[in-house]
Amino acid sequence: MTEVLFYHLTESKLEDALPALLEKSVERGWRVIVQTKEEGRRDALDSHLWTFREDSFLPHSTDDADRPEAQPVLLTATADNANEASVRFVVDGAEPPPLDPYERVVFMFDGYDAGQLEQARAQWKKLKGEGHALTYWQQSPEGRWVKKA
């Protein structure tokens, strides 16, 4: 069954937390897809991932670029899995596709956005009812991830 993780952003924004998690995923050899709610947000994250740190290189692209299937990290605003990822990040309250094709699905939500918070709670309840193994992580004041449930 798919491992499902909920990451509650309380000390940083998605743009600050997501790159490090994607870097760790790539280091582990995982193929990753990041699902946003809108194409504009997908494109903004794409630009950010090229410039988030001067000394970094995070290989990625969007699903509307050439050869999305070849990308280790793919950004999308759809339910598709064009790069055959085993890990899916669902951000900004996007509605995920069925979780069965994935080894791991990570929901990242802004704790100061009422809509995202409510969406995360609804997803938790739904997925728990389906029998998925869920874990909940929250940021400490230092921005580190602490397992809470």
**How many domains is the chain built from?**
1
HEC string for the chain: CCEEEEEEECCCCHHHHHHHHHHHHHHCCCCEEEECCCHHHHHHHHHHHHHCCCCCCCCCEECCCCCHHHCCEEEECCCCCCCCCCEEEEECCCCCCCCCCCCEEEEEEECCCHHHHHHHHHHHHHHHHCCCEEEEEEECCCCCEEECC
Domain CATH for 59: 3.40.50.10110
**Lookup: tokens for 88:** 């899916």
pLDDT of 70 higher than 90: yes
The pTM of this model reads: 0.95
Tokens 């897809």 -> residue: 33
Confidence tier at 64 by pLDDT (50, 70, 90): very high
β-pairing, 133-139 vs 104-110, is unpaired
In this predicted model, what pLDDT tens digit does every residue of 94-119 receive, in sequence order?
A: 999 999 999 999 999 999 999 999 99
Structural domain including 74 reads 3-147
List the structure tokens of 67: 């050869």
Q: What is the pLDDT of residues 118-132, one digit of tens each?
A: 999 999 999 999 989
Contact 127, 115 (CB under 8 A): no
